């Protein structure tokens, strides 16, 4: 059976809007953010994300796990880019070294060296801001849209009945998968299985994960067969369906969608004129004497 | 309440079906019909073809499940072969065994309205019909609740309302009692009777014949090996079938078993308690609540002692599973402590506890993964570090007890639900833990199968104690030497079966319903001095 995200009715900015309008705003936000590497522009998007977060009305206790995950994820990848110096190759050509750290040892005649450059540091920071804005806007959605409205929300975006309902089921599949994973984990631990004791090479480690992966996968497949049967038995997909839930756009929804369109169009035009590319402040270059 | 002059609503004629990937026919030459207002009981052991027959009637065969089909299914005189699923679904409403697998809607109202939405009806009509269906089943109060937070009984009523809203002429119920506590089961049966009296034709597939007889079905069918073995009055069904195959009322078993040879008396080996020994598991003022939400267990103190065979009874959602999960350390108490072998579960890993306490989860599909049954059974003992020769012996024994021989090399995931359930119990048996804990061991099993493996498990000398969670009072009557009743997170009864189960006040408040077997046992208790199964009572006192 499908379970839902921890949605609750809240007095929040997101929930003040129609869910379809919000999805449109969200999509425009995501696409627009992707055009830019300029930290000054990214801070604009970060500011939007922060306003949405702080007006979401979701308590820290409710979603601290999600935040920890996002922060861990974002910091890890930014750090990885910073340390390897890869990832930013396309956006900057020149590097200005601040300092170079050399490891006091060698491995097979190779001495690990870390060049700390202005560009790398700024690129890592830009990436951090960018990914954090995208991830936090995404994670807020399941907490803020009534699960009973998923189907109609997608249907109103112009998707056909079948695809809209499939999106509805998909949205709810994720937390269901999480629940099944926990149940399987418990069942296998009760059989003396300890995931902490995984050892060996990658392949044997993956093989040792089979007791978790196989039941969860099979359960998901069997569960989707049940869902298909249950839908068939009640005449799903025979023609145009009525959606019981009715949603109405209000003035503010049109304003939001207009704003979304403006941001998107503005971003497209700005990037066409080469605005918003990776930016290195002059004074930093002066500081390192470049 | 059959109206003789009415035309049959459903006619099944010479129906046979073979699944595409199976060599044998699942059903063969089935013929019967149902008229409006009739209740037909279809009984039979698992694998007899009941589910296949149901799929042929509701149209999933041949539309979703392919294979070779011959014969005809007629609805109101029309061959369903030419109908779409949508047309059939307006005539045949199906409620699956497990409402969990059927409910799609997020809120109750969405679920009930789902079929009507698909038919493209106007909103006002959908709302009116959905409200009427909920009203009829007495669940109007659930209107805006989240479906996944409902109790088992509520879920089933919601699934039923979703089907009734489509106003089918025939209602197909696949084991409607399987996931319900006894009181909810009785309510469901009363509802079914009402629907039939209102003119709906009803086909109930159920192996708990005893319970279904309470709605006085008009006809009974008994299927075995894909064929109809009995077709006649429902009362006659109880006379015609083997009382060891399906669950019949105790009085009937008593009469019929009296003329059969006396059964071998089973003496549980672990039943010989060492009275002065230390408790195996001790709950000391345990309270527990999940992350968000109110307290689920309140101040529970009890001990599991060597020799205990404990049945844990209680309504859906009373906290039975939560209680048992404390013992294996999957959940740790918020206050108080749980001691396993004298050690606090806070200081033990689940794997460490698993060597003392083997826990069989409710749903087998959450644990089966191995390429073969043998490998599946060897997984637990392997994790616990048993030596290879030892594991071989343990696996073989589990196979024998759970009646799995011949399937050693089969992938568990390809087996039927009942067989999977047995594999999952076998997988824990093979670990040779000192305490065996089973959550709903009989769910999805037919009567003969679960009685057989319960018999074998109790005869195992290797356990110090056995504990099982169940809705089935008879299981407690036949097997337990101690009964614990949990209600609203508290222990409301704990003692010998004859003491706890004779207190009808406790039973009633915990949504338990006395069974015919319990009644007979209580009647004869002055003479027997212990509870026993109907076959044994039939030969009392000669078999003592």
Find the CATH number of the domain harbouring B56: 3.40.50.300
Write out the H or E segment, with its range, that includes residue B222: strand B219-224
Distance CA A116, CA B88 (A): 71
Higher pLDDT, B285 or B535: B285
pLDDT bin (cut points 50, 70, 90) of residue B2 is very low
Q: Is residue B99 in some structural domain?
A: yes
| DSSP of B442-508 | TTT--HHHHHHHHHHHHT-TT-SEEEEE-S-HHHHHHH-SEEEEEETTEEEEEE-HHHHTT-HHHHH
Number of domains in chain B: 2
Q: Is residue A123 in some structural domain?
A: yes
pLDDT at B483 over 90: yes
* Chain A: closest CA distance from residue B110 (Å): 7
Q: Return the minimum-mean-pLDDT range out of A23-37, B107-121, B234-248.
A: B234-248
Taking the mean position of all CA atoms in its chain, how far away is CA B74?
Answer: 31
Q: Is residue B24 in some structural domain?
A: yes
Q: Return the minimum-mean-pLDDT range out of A91-95, B63-67, B502-506.
A: A91-95
Q: Is residue B308 in some structural domain?
A: no
Q: Which chain A residues are Cβ-neighbours of B96 within 8 angstroms?
A: 226, 229-230
Residues 78-97 of A with CB under 8 A from B: none
Q: Is residue A130 in some structural domain?
A: yes
Q: Tell me what pLDDT residue B496 has.
A: 92
Q: Is residue A8 in some structural domain?
A: no
Could you give the percent of chain B with pLDDT greater than 70? 96
Q: Is residue B449 in some structural domain?
A: no
Domain boundary among B231, B248, B265: B248
Q: Is residue B487 in some structural domain?
A: no
- Closest residue, chain A, to B94 (C-alpha): A233
Is A190 within 8 Å of B104 when comparing Cβ atoms?
no
Distance CA B321, CA B317 (A): 9
Q: Is residue A167 in some structural domain?
A: yes
pLDDT bin (cut points 50, 70, 90) of residue B227 is very high
Is B351 within 8 Å of A229 when comparing Cβ atoms?
no
* Chain A: closest CA distance from residue B16 (Å): 21
Residues 152-171 of A with CB under 8 A from B: 169
Domain boundary among B248, B276, B295: B248
Q: Are B176 and B206 in contact (CB under 8 A)?
A: yes
Q: Is residue A175 in some structural domain?
A: yes
* Chain A: closest CA distance from residue B147 (Å): 8
Q: Is residue A108 in some structural domain?
A: yes
Domain boundary among B214, B248, B282: B248
Determine the structural domain holding residue B393 and report its residue range.
372-430
Interface check for B166 against chain A (CB to CB < 8 A): the answer is yes
pLDDT at B260 over 60: yes
Number of domains in chain A: 1
Distance CA B270, CA B458 (A): 7
Q: Is residue A1 in some structural domain?
A: no
Q: Tell me what pLDDT residue B175 has.
A: 85
Interface check for B322 against chain A (CB to CB < 8 A): the answer is no
Q: Is residue B86 in some structural domain?
A: yes
Q: Is residue B81 in some structural domain?
A: yes
Is B58 within 8 Å of A148 when comparing Cβ atoms?
no
Is A218 within 8 Å of B58 when comparing Cβ atoms?
no
Question: What is the value of ipTM here, to two decimals?
Answer: 0.83
Q: Tell me what pLDDT residue B204 has.
A: 93
Determine the structural domain holding residue A264 and report its residue range.
14-287
Q: Is residue A3 in some structural domain?
A: no
Q: Is residue B498 in some structural domain?
A: no
Q: Average model confidence (pLDDT) for chain B?
A: 88
Give me the residue from A191, A222, A229 closest to B354, CB to CB. Answer: A191
Closest CA relative to residue A223, chosen from B98, B177, B423: B98
Regarding whether B232 and B100 lie in a shared domain, the answer is: yes
């Amino acid at each position: 059976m499908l379970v839902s995200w921890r949605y609750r009715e809240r007095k929040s900015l997101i929930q003040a809007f129609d869910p379809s309008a919000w999805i449109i705003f969200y999509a425009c936000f995501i696409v627009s953010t992707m055009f830019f590497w300029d930290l000054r522009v990214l801070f604009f998007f970060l500011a939007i994300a922060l306003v949405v977060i702080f007006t979401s009305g979701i308590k820290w206790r409710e979603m601290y796990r999600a935040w920890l995950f996002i922060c861990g994820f974002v910091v890890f990848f930014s750090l990885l880019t910073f340390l390897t110096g890869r990832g930013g190759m396309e956006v900057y050509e020149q590097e200005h070294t601040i300092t170079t750290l050399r490891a006091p040892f060698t491995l097979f005649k190779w001495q690990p060296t870390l060049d700390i450059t202005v560009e790398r540091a700024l690129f890592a920071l830009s990436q951090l801001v960018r990914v954090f804005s995208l991830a936090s806007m995404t994670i807020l959605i399941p907490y803020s849209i009534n699960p009973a409205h998923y189907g109609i929300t997608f249907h109103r975006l112009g998707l056909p009945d079948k695809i809209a309902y499939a999106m509805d089921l998909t949205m709810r599949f994720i937390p269901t998968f999480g629940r099944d994973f926990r149940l399987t984990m418990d069942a296998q631990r009760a059989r003396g299985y300890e995931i902490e004791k995984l050892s060996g090479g990658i392949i044997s480690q993956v093989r040792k994960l089979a007791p978790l992966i196989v039941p969860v996968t099979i359960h998901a497949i069997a569960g989707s067969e049940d869902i298909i049967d249950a839908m068939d038995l009640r005449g799903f997909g025979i023609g145009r369906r009525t959606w019981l839930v009715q949603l109405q756009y209000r003035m503010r929804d049109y304003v939001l969608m207009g704003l979304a369109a403006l941001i998107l169009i503005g971003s497209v035009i700005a990037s066409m004129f080469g605005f918003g590319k990776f930016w290195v402040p002059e004074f930093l270059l002066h500081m390192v004497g470049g | 309440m059959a109206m003789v002059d009415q035309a049959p609503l459903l006619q099944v004629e010479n129906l046979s079906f073979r699944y595409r990937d199976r060599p044998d026919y699942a059903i063969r030459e089935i013929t019967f019909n149902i008229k409006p207002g009739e209740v037909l009981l279809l009984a039979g052991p698992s694998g007899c073809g009941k589910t296949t027959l149901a799929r042929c009637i509701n149209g999933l065969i041949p539309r979703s499940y392919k294979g070779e089909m011959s014969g005809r299914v007629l609805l109101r005189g029309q061959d369903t072969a030419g109908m779409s699923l949508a047309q059939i679904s307006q005539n045949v409403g199906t409620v699956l065994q497990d409402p969990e697998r059927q409910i799609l809607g997020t809120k109750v109202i969405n679920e009930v309205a789902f079929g009507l939405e698909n038919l493209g009806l106007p909103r006002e009509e959908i709302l009116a019909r959905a409200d009427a269906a909920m009203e009829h089943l007495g669940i109007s109060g659930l209107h805006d609740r989240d479906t996944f937070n409902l109790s088992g009984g509520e879920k089933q009523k919601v699934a039923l309302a979703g089907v009734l809203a489509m106003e089918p002429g025939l209602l197909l119920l696949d084991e409607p009692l399987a996931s319900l506590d006894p009181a909810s089961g009785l309510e469901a049966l009363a509802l079914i009777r009402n629907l039939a009296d209102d003119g709906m034709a009803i086909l109930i597939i159920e192996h708990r014949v005893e319970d279904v007889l309470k709605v006085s079905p008009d006809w009974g069918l008994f299927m075995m090996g894909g064929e109809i073995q009995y077709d006649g009055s429902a009362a006659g069904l109880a006379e015609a079938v083997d009382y060891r195959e399906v669950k019949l009322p105790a009085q009937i078993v008593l009469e019929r078993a009296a003329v059969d040879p006396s059964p071998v008396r089973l003496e549980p080996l672990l039943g010989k308690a060492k009275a002065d020994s230390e408790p195996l598991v001790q709950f000391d003022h345990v309270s527990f609540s999940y992350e968000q939400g109110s307290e689920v267990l309140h101040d529970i103190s009890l001990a599991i002692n060597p020799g205990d065979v404990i049945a844990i009874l209680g309504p859906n959602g009373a906290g039975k599973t939560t209680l048992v999960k404390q013992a294996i350390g999957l959940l740790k108490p918020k206050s108080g402590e749980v001691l396993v072998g004298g050690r606090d579960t806070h200081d033990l890993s689940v794997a460490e506890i698993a060597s003392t306490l083997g826990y069989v989860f409710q749903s087998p599909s959450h644990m089966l993964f191995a390429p073969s049954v043998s490998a599946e059974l060897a997984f637990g003992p392997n994790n616990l570090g048993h030596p290879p020769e030892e594991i071989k012996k343990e696996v073989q024994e589990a196979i024998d007890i759970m009646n799995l021989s011949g399937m050693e090399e089969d992938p568990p995931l390809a087996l039927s639900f009942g067989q999977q359930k047995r594999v999952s119990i076998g997988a824990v048996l093979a670990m040779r833990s000192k305490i065996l804990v089973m959550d709903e061991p009989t769910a999805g099993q037919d009567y003969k199968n679960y009685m057989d493996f319960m018999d074998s498990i109790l005869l195992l000398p290797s356990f110090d104690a056995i504990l099982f969670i169940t809705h089935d009072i008879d299981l407690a009557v036949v097997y337990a030497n101690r009964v614990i009743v949990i209600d609203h997170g508290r222990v409301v009864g704990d003692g010998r079966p004859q003491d706890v189960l004779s207190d009808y006040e406790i039973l009633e408040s915990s949504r338990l319903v006395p069974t015919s077997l319990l009644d007979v046992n209580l009647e004869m208790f002055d003479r027997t001095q212990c509870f026993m199964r109907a076959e044994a009572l039939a030969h009392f006192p000669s078999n003592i």
